[in-house]
Chain A
Amino acid sequence: MTTSHMSPPLLSVSNLSTSFFTSRGEVKAVRGVSFELNAGEILGIVGESGSGKSITCMSLMGLLRSSGRVIEGSARFEGRDLITLDEDELSELRGNDISMIFQDPMTSLNPTLTVGEQVIETILRHRKVSRAEARARAIELFELVRIPSAAKRLKSYPHEFSGGMRQRVMIAIALACDPKLLIADEPTTALDVTIQRQILALLKELQGRLGMAVILITHDLGVIAETADRVLVMYGGMVMEEGPVRELFARPSHPYTRGLLASIPDLRDDTHHRLTPIPGSPPDMLRPPKGCPFAPRCPHAMAQCNAALPPLYHAGEGRRARCWLHHPEAPRVAGITAELVPA
């Protein structure tokens, strides 16, 4: 970690804003998101559906649906701004330097092509190799993601695989060209619990072996705890809190993060706590509130929270939190604002 801080980050996103222009108006899905990602690091992005976590990554990849547009901000990847690249330059990068896996392996693979073809076409797109070489590489990849009898399975169609196996195929496709960055968008959400663990373990192992950086998008804090180095908590299209996983879990410095942690069951805890859901629903991004987006649901909300959007307060080593409670004059709230200092 300390050495990687010396070299410039692999990806540096700053002030990224993305909107969708619909018939009902402008939906501000992502509002001024900034973060950095170092080579070989696993960054978790966590948030409810609609918090803007997937849209952030789709904006980086240039994969927004036609009504969506990045309206400001930059995303520097190895010195190039992904946002200003044209479609041709982006498609050179996609699947090559940056690759992506999706939530639902049942629908993410083309049902009418063999899985082998879907891996091979990726290799042939980005590498100057013969078809036979690409095929050999595909077998190697299948073995890497532990698909049994790899050579034979290349000829199978997606419907002949189980969900877990399909996600392995997706991972094989993503790893085909040794990417420097892998974006995994809810890679385990659609899978059975036991399969989830296998896939996560595989991802973590491959990351260690191949040394790529990973952005892991999920709404499941458990997944983050097991896998990520650092975590970004998003709400209402904004970064609410950021920090190293252990510290953030031990001492959440935003009421939303605390709410998220309180709403997941902890099996190690045998004092019969009731799970506390966060009341209310996420804000309407057509008309985002003027102040803190979480204020209407926040147990500590103050007049100031509805009046103005809080800035991101730097809170110690690599930690940031967007909450007025971190203002020096704000009332102290036990468990959230203890030893934090504003930047």
Chain B
Amino acid sequence: MTAYVVQRLLLMLVTLFAIITLTFFLMHAVPGGPFTSEKMLQPEIQAALNAKYHLDDPLWLQYLNYLRGVLSLDLGPSFKYAGMSVNEIIAEGLPVTMKTGALALLCVVALGVPLGIVAALNRNRWPDTLVMVIATIGVAVPSYVIATVALYVFALRLGWVPTFGLDDWRGYFLPVFALSGFWISFIARLARSSLLETLQQDYMMTAKAKGLKRGTVLFKHGLRNSLIPVVTVLGPVVANLLTGSFVIEQIFALPGIGRHFVLSITNRDYTAIMGITIFYAAVLMVMIFIVDMLYLVLDPRIKYRADAK
């Protein structure tokens, strides 16, 4: 058990370190410095700016300094917004992104799993067909298409929900729907095929042969086992909800981290790009760690295998 937790924790730290390093060197591989776009800068000012942001230090020193900063949870100053730190940019966008992201994750689990179960239990009958048709559409149509079509129909045409912003609670509907649509479909399909496979297992036959009631057989023996693969993809789901928010926040003009990220890309605000990437990665690593721990609870074989290593 502890071996498994330690192993996962180590993997998480190694990955995070790899991400910080990769991100730092990628951003410093950009031709020219961060201030090259402002061509009007005089050499003295350029030098002063370089000195101010320690850009004249050798690369390894900059890297070590940056690493020290990240470890003390300081992602440095923004290059474009004078006087604003990357931490502040993130703090500003975090509530919006967290709220929509958490709601989307909730929708994915609370809708995707039951839909998959309903489909599997009604295999080849109309509920199954209906769920599979919707899920196939959901997997094939890109989120930004869903978002813009929904925006046009529900906000511009019907006027049921505001076109942008989250001041009204109804403003959450479309962004959350667009963000989670793909993953609801994906999870529904996964839960369906996983449950169908579980239903074929010998131990399901044993459970029936023991005379257990249908509900017990299904929920205690079937569902729990079929949810294991669903839980394993929740990590990537979170990652994709985060990156999906770039486009969704753009379309619905939500002041979240994703929008700040896209803005800092267009502004070539390298420290912000770097900081937000690392922040995303850290959130994701923590989520993956949580999922791993959940996995441990659901599947006792994991603990056994890790300890045997």
Contacts and interface: CB of A to CB of B under 8 A. Distances in A.
For chain B, which range describes its interface: under 10, 10 to 19, 20 to 34, or 35 or more residues? 20 to 34
B175 to A, nearest CB: 36
Interface in B59-111: none
Given A63-B205, A111-B225, A125 B210 contact: yes
B301 interface: yes
A108 B205 contact: yes
For chain A, which range describes its interface: under 10, 10 to 19, 20 to 34, or 35 or more residues? 20 to 34
Nearest to A119: B210
A108 B202 CA distance: 5
A126 B211 contact: yes
Contacts of B216: 121, 125
Contacts of B211: 91-96, 122, 125-126
A324 interface: no
A274 to B, nearest CB: 37
A249 interface: no
Nearest to A160: B304
A107 interface: yes
Interface stretch (A39-47, A97-105, A288-296): A97-105
B207 interface: yes
B210 A157 contact: no
A74 B215 CA distance: 28
A87 B211 CA distance: 10
B303 to A, nearest CB: 9
Given A112-B224, A112-B298, A122 B210 contact: yes
A99 B304 contact: no
- Most chain-A CB neighbours within 10 Å: which of B206, B214, B220, B298? B206
- Most chain-A CB neighbours within 10 Å: which of B209, B213, B298? B209
A159 interface: yes
Contacts of B214: 87, 91
A110 B206 contact: yes
Interface string B191-217: 000000000011101111111111010
Contact of A159 (B205, B206, B209, B301): B301
B150 to A, nearest CB: 39
A111 B304 contact: no
A66 to B, nearest CB: 8
Contacts of A63: 205, 208-209
Nearest to B298: A112
Contacts of A61: 209
A114 to B, nearest CB: 8
B209 A110 contact: no
B300 A95 contact: no
A1 to B, nearest CB: 29
Interface in A68-113: 87, 91-96, 99-100, 102, 104, 107-113
22 contacts: A61-B209, A63-B208, A91-B208, A91-B211, A91-B213, A94-B209, A94-B210, A94-B211, A99-B210, A100-B209, A102-B209, A104-B202, A107-B202, A108-B202, A108-B205, A112-B228, A112-B301, A122-B212, A125-B213, A157-B304, A159-B301, A170-B206
Interface of A: 61, 63, 87, 91-96, 99-100, 102, 104, 107-113, 121-122, 125-126, 157, 159-160, 170, 173
Given A95-B209, A112-B228, 16 more contacts: A91-B208, A91-B212, A91-B213, A92-B211, A95-B211, A108-B205, A108-B206, A110-B225, A111-B301, A113-B220, A122-B210, A122-B211, A157-B300, A157-B301, A160-B304, A170-B206
